[in-house]
Amino acid sequence: MASQSELRSPETGTESGGEAEYRMLPVPEALTLVLAQSHALPVVELPLAQVLGMVLGSDVLAPDPLPPFPASMKDGYAVVAGDGPGEYPLVGEVRAGGVADFTLEPGQVAYITTGAPLPPGADAVVMVEETSQFGRDGAPWVRIGATVDKGADVRAVGVDVAEGQVVLGRGTRLGPAELGILATVGQAVVPVHRRPVVGVLSTGDELVEPGAALGPGQIRDSNRAALLAAVAALGGEPLDLGIAGDEADALAAALQRGIAQADILLTSGGVSMGDLDLVKPLLARLGTVHFGRLLMKPGKPLTFATVATERAGVADQAAGGAADQGAEGAHRCLVFGLPGNPVSSMVTFLLLAVPAMRQLAGATNPHWPRVQAELAQPLRLDAYRPEFHRATLQWDVARNGGRGGFVATSTGIQASSRLLSMRTANGLLLLPVGEETLPAGAVVDALVIGEL
The residues binding Mg ion (CB under 5 A) are: 204, 269-270, 340
- Our CB check for Mg ion shows the closer of 270 and 386 to be 270
Which listed residue (200, 207, 333, 444) binds ligand AMP by CB under 6 A? 207
Which listed residue (38, 202, 348, 414) binds ligand AMP by CB under 6 A? 202
Which listed residue (218, 222, 309, 426) binds ligand AMP by CB under 6 A? 222
Indicate the residue type of 234. Answer: L
3-state secondary structure of 60: strand
Kindly state the helix (H) or strand (E) to which residue 361 belongs, with its residue range. Answer: none
134-173 positions binding ligand AMP, by CB under 6 A? none
- Our CB check for Mg ion shows the closer of 292 and 340 to be 340
Q: Tell me if 272 contacts ligand AMP by CB under 6 A.
A: yes
Stretch that binds ligand AMP, among 311-319, 338-346, 351-359, 392-400 (CB under 6 A): 338-346
Min dist CB 225 to ligand AMP, Å, is: 9
Asked whether 113 and 96 are in contact (CB, 8 A), the reply is: yes
Q: Tell me if 281 contacts ligand AMP by CB under 6 A.
A: no
- Our CB check for ligand AMP shows the closer of 76 and 340 to be 340
* Ramachandran region, residue 71 (left: φ > 0; alpha: ψ -120 to 50; beta: rest): beta
- Our CB check for ligand AMP shows the closer of 170 and 418 to be 418
Asked whether 311 and 260 are in contact (CB, 8 A), the reply is: yes
# residues near ligand AMP by CB under 6 A: 20
3-state secondary structure of 77: strand
- Our CB check for ligand AMP shows the closer of 258 and 339 to be 339
Angle at 238 between CA 226 and CA 290, to 5 degrees: 85
Min dist CB 250 to Mg ion, Å, is: 13
Q: Tell me if 200 contacts ligand AMP by CB under 6 A.
A: no
Taken in order 408, 413, 416, 420, is the CA torsion positive or negative?
Answer: negative
- Our CB check for ligand AMP shows the closer of 15 and 277 to be 277
Stretch that binds ligand AMP, among 1-9, 11-19, 85-93, 264-272 (CB under 6 A): 264-272
CA distances from 175 to 50, 56, 243 (A): 11, 11, 35
- Our CB check for Mg ion shows the closer of 203 and 410 to be 203
3-state secondary structure of 390: strand
Min dist CB 216 to ligand AMP, Å, is: 14
Q: Tell me if 260 contacts ligand AMP by CB under 6 A.
A: no
CA distances from 193 to 33, 122, 177, 379 (A): 22, 47, 19, 42
Burial of residue 334, with CB atoms counted within 10 A of its CB: 0-12 exposed, 13-18 middle, 19 or more buried: buried
Asked whether 419 and 342 are in contact (CB, 8 A), the reply is: yes
Q: Count Cα atoms within 13 angstroms, Cβ side, for 127.
A: 6
Q: Is the peptide bond before 119 cis (omega within 30 degrees of 0)?
A: no
Angle at 340 between CA 337 and CA 341, to 5 degrees: 135
Asked whether 37 and 334 are in contact (CB, 8 A), the reply is: yes
Stretch that binds ligand AMP, among 22-30, 91-99, 108-116, 334-342 (CB under 6 A): 334-342
Question: Residue 23 — φ and ψ, nearest 5°?
Answer: -70, 140
Q: Which of 166, 172, 159 is nearest to 68 (CA)?
A: 159
Which listed residue (206, 247, 374, 382) binds ligand AMP by CB under 6 A? 206
- Our CB check for Mg ion shows the closer of 204 and 236 to be 204
Min dist CB 376 to ligand AMP, Å, is: 29
Q: Tell me if 342 contacts ligand AMP by CB under 6 A.
A: yes
Asked whether 278 and 4 are in contact (CB, 8 A), the reply is: yes
Asked whether 406 and 445 are in contact (CB, 8 A), the reply is: no
Which listed residue (52, 166, 219, 433) binds ligand AMP by CB under 6 A? 219
The interface partner of residue 223, options being ligand AMP, Mg ion, none and the CB cut-off 5 to 8 Å by kind, is ligand AMP
Asked whether 246 and 205 are in contact (CB, 8 A), the reply is: yes
- Our CB check for ligand AMP shows the closer of 208 and 371 to be 208
Q: Tell me if 271 contacts ligand AMP by CB under 6 A.
A: yes
The interface partner of residue 287, options being Mg ion, ligand AMP, none and the CB cut-off 5 to 8 Å by kind, is none
Q: Tell me if 104 contacts ligand AMP by CB under 6 A.
A: no
Min dist CB 13 to ligand AMP, Å, is: 23
Per CB under 6 A, residues contacting ligand AMP are 202, 204, 206-207, 219, 221-224, 268-272, 274, 277, 339-342
